[in-house]
Amino acid sequence: MSPQISIVVPLLNESESLPELHDWIVRVMHENQFSYEILFVDDGSKDDSWKTIEAIGKQNPAVSGIKFQRNYGKSAALQKGFEAALGEVVITMDADLQDSPDEIPELYRMISEQDYDVVSGWKKKRHDPLSKTIPTKLYNWAARRITGIHLHDFNCGLKAYKLTVIKSIELYGDMHRYVPALAKYAGFSKIGEKVVQHQARKYGTTKFGLNRFLNGPLDLMTVAFMGKFGKKPMHFFGALGVLMFLIGFSLTFYLGIDKLFINKSAKLLADRTEFFLAITSMIIGVQFFLAGFLAELIGRNSSTWNHYIVEKEI
């Protein structure tokens, strides 16, 4: 029988916090009489994290572990955890004790009783320096505008999902920040938010560097594009290509008419800047069109091209 809750915990060099986190989760599960499983995904730790997971697993049969050969990133760890999860509700949380397991019961009820597809945590009061909070606010504002999902904290690690949601999406790169957006583009529109407690880090140091401030916006644009045009790239590249080509062709046509019939004493077309702008516009238009055409050919050979999510069937 499947458990009520699957808790997926990606981690990197968090051996000190794992026993305390495990005991905290177990206490909450027992107090609320939930059936559960805990999936620790070790993303290539260099400390004793895996030995700690093995020791915990021997004491608690509800604990499972997955260890990567090297560090692949949080998205890869979550994807592997999602593939293994069996619970009716899947909850993700970080291993650094900054996410409180006491939030799990309410997250579970919002999914199971209020029928949310996704519930994202909102660390309204953060214990982080300004160098982290200010860029985060800007990033969240941009994410809201681009995705149309009104969440205050896209990057909060504490989230809850229906099992069907995490089985319908695929994470790669640094897409873990945008699981709500991926869920929305997959057809799961009921996305909620809950204010959660944010605690100061107790052990170790943060694993996120300055590169996330560059990668985050780039991944956001990727998610937005793939959500809207992933199945129909020709609609984007083809339309843009045709527009650029028509602009260039129209300008060339005008210059030709002007030289032949209106202003015969004007400079030769090859001596006019507008002519080269027109030619460049047509060349770029053709390139955009070919990019869309090639994307369609590549996509149609993909195993996921005709992957559609069936909600119900009789």
Give pLDDT tens digits for 218-238. 777 777 777 777 778 888 899
Kindly state whether residue 33 falls inside one of the protein's structural domains: yes
Kindly state whether residue 91 falls inside one of the protein's structural domains: yes
Q: 188-210: per-residue pLDDT in tens?
A: 989 999 999 877 777 766 655 55
Per-residue tokens: 253: 């046509």
Of 230, 241, 247, 218, give the one whose Cα is nearest residue 290. Answer: 241
Same domain, 188 and 56: yes
Report the alpha-carbon distance of residue 275 to residue 231 in Å, rounded: 36
Same domain, 166 and 250: no
CATH of the domain at 183: 3.90.550.10
Of 252, 243, 246, give the one whose Cα is nearest residue 278. Answer: 252
Tell me what pLDDT residue 176 has.
85
Tell me what pLDDT residue 124 has.
80
Kindly state whether residue 272 falls inside one of the protein's structural domains: yes
Same domain, 9 and 158: yes
Same domain, 201 and 255: no
Kindly state whether residue 266 falls inside one of the protein's structural domains: yes
Residue 311 banded pLDDT, cuts 50, 70, 90: low
Instruction: Domain of residue 40: give its range.
Output: 5-229
Same domain, 138 and 163: yes
Task: Count structural domains, the chain.
Answer: 2
Tell me what pLDDT residue 135 has.
72
pTM over 0.75: yes
Same domain, 117 and 208: yes
Number of H helices and E strands in the chain, helices first, is 10, 7
Q: 115-134: per-residue pLDDT in tens?
A: 999 999 998 876 666 666 67
Same domain, 198 and 293: no
The answer to which of 60-69, 224-233, 302-311 has the lowest mean pLDDT is 302-311
